[in-house]
Amino acid sequence: MPKPLKDSDQKPLVATVVPGTSDRAWIANGYDEVRAILSDDRFSTMPPAKTPEASRRLIQPGNLLQYDPPEHTRLRRMLTGEFTLRRVRALEPLVEGVVKDRLDAMEGAGQPVDLVAHFVWPTTSLIGCALLGIPRDDQAELVRHLDTNRLDNPDREQRDMAGTAYLAYLDKLMRLKRRKPGDDLLGRLIRDHGRSLTDPELTGTAATLLASFIPITGGTLGLGLVGLLENPDQLALLIERPELIDHAVEEVIRSVTIIPHASPRTATQDVTIGDQVIKSGEFVACSLLEANGTRAPGQPQDTLDITRDNSHHMAFGHGLHYCMGASLARMELRIAISGLLHRFPKVRLAVPRDELRFTARSVESLPVAW
């Protein structure tokens, strides 16, 4: 295996305390340490509680990240058939169609255009909704709820209301689909596994998938385009050598690492990592950002290099919770980025770099000309 792209300048595994308590917790920053922890079955991702039963009650039904085996295995297996490489390839024409429509609309509107509002979010939300089978008329409202509900919205009350509306909508939709499952992901899930899934599990699965798809893939696409536009030499190289697109997509995913930390893990027994012992019951936060040698959005980044082999990065996590949508996300990013560059080979930022504004997981707007 190639070594990590850049060693983290933080200590590989540091002890700290859980805020507001005297309990010890850990932060893993080193590539090897993060990889070891995420692939070790002795760590649990279930919500922390005094007893396993209490912990189970705290799980958001359908949110795979909060289950341990064997429940995790049972739920994940029902979904993996929907995310095979063959399925992802079968979705390519849909994605190509959506991307083409957006590019036509941009061309019609004339430059400069805000890529975030006119390309990144519309393509990603249309694809996510089509995949799950959200009726066209409902898509805009649902995506608005999801956007208002995002973690970095400072208005708590507004955020919670949007979260409730989002779940209520999906709950209603699942009831409809139970009666009339269509030929889409949720429909097939109901037809094949509907009897062994509870209503909250089904609704929760839909909620998790859509919330994993839209903000995360959209955020990566937006920030990835910033990275490419800031590195005109890399952009020019990609236009000259379109066959580099797979490497470029992987480099974009690594350089953004949109999920900065994996879900907290709790040791279920004492685990030795390097020369330190994580005691049973202690938490670990694994920094995917540090393990990947990445900086938060808007911070100066290391050089982007679309020719290097970075296929061992951990932006999709590692271990049994490895991202289920990884192939799908790669496919969308590939078609979106190559489609944009093919249509507008002279695409460039239309504002100075310092005027770009970032949230924790996205760029707010990205005006470009061509």
Partner 1 sequence: MEIRVDRERCAGSSLCLSYLPEVFDQSDDDGKVLLRTPVPGADMEEAVRGVAARCPTGAITLHARDAQDA
Which residues here bind ligand HEM, judged by CB under 6 A? 64-65, 76, 208-209, 212-213, 216-217, 220, 253, 258-259, 262-263, 288, 315-317, 321, 323-325, 328-329
Closest CB to partner 1 among 73 and 269? 73
3 binds partner 1 (CB under 8 A): no
Encoded tokens for 262: 């994996």
Least Å distance between CB 236 and ligand HEM? 24
The single residue among 15, 17, 18, 85 that binds partner 1, judged by CB under 8 A, is: 85
Closest CB to ligand HEM among 76 and 100? 76
327 interface partner picked from partner 1, ligand HEM, none, CB below 5 to 8 A per type: partner 1
- State how far the alpha carbon of 94 is from the alpha carbons of 25, 123, 128, 208, 351, in Å: 45, 11, 11, 22, 32
Whether residue 294 contacts residue 257, with contact meaning beta carbons closer than 8 Å, is answered with yes
The single residue among 10, 148, 153, 327 that binds partner 1, judged by CB under 8 A, is: 327
322 binds partner 1 (CB under 8 A): yes
Q: With contacts defined by CB under 8 A, name the span among 53-61, 84-92, 165-173, 225-233 that binds partner 1.
A: 84-92
* Cβ neighbour number for residue 54 with a 10 Å cutoff: 12
Q: How far apart are the C-alpha atoms of 92 and 128, rounded to whole Å?
A: 13
- State how far the alpha carbon of 290 is from the alpha carbons of 7, 296, 306, in Å: 8, 10, 20
281 binds partner 1 (CB under 8 A): no
- Extract the runs of DSSP E, i.e. beta strands, from 64-142: 113-114
39 interface partner picked from partner 1, ligand HEM, none, CB below 5 to 8 A per type: partner 1
3-state SS record for 181-233: CCCCHHHHHHHHHHHHCCHHHHHHHHHHHHHHHHHHHHHHHHHHHHHHHHCHH
99 interface partner picked from partner 1, ligand HEM, none, CB below 5 to 8 A per type: none
Closest CB to ligand HEM among 234 and 294? 294
Least Å distance between CB 253 and ligand HEM? 5
Whether residue 203 contacts residue 189, with contact meaning beta carbons closer than 8 Å, is answered with no
- State how far the alpha carbon of 66 is from the alpha carbons of 69, 78, 262, 273, 299, in Å: 10, 16, 12, 23, 31
Least Å distance between CB 209 and ligand HEM? 5
1 binds partner 1 (CB under 8 A): yes
86 interface partner picked from partner 1, ligand HEM, none, CB below 5 to 8 A per type: partner 1
Number of residues lying near partner 1 (CB under 8 A): 27
> Across the chain, which distance is largest between two alpha carbons, in Å?
61
Q: What does 4-27 look like in DSSP terms, one character per residue? A: PSS--SS-SEEEEE-TTS--EEEE
Q: How far apart are the C-alpha atoms of 251 and 304, rounded to whole Å?
A: 7
> What is the contact surface with partner 1 in residues (CB under 8 A)?
1, 39, 73, 76-77, 79-86, 88, 311-312, 316-324, 326-327
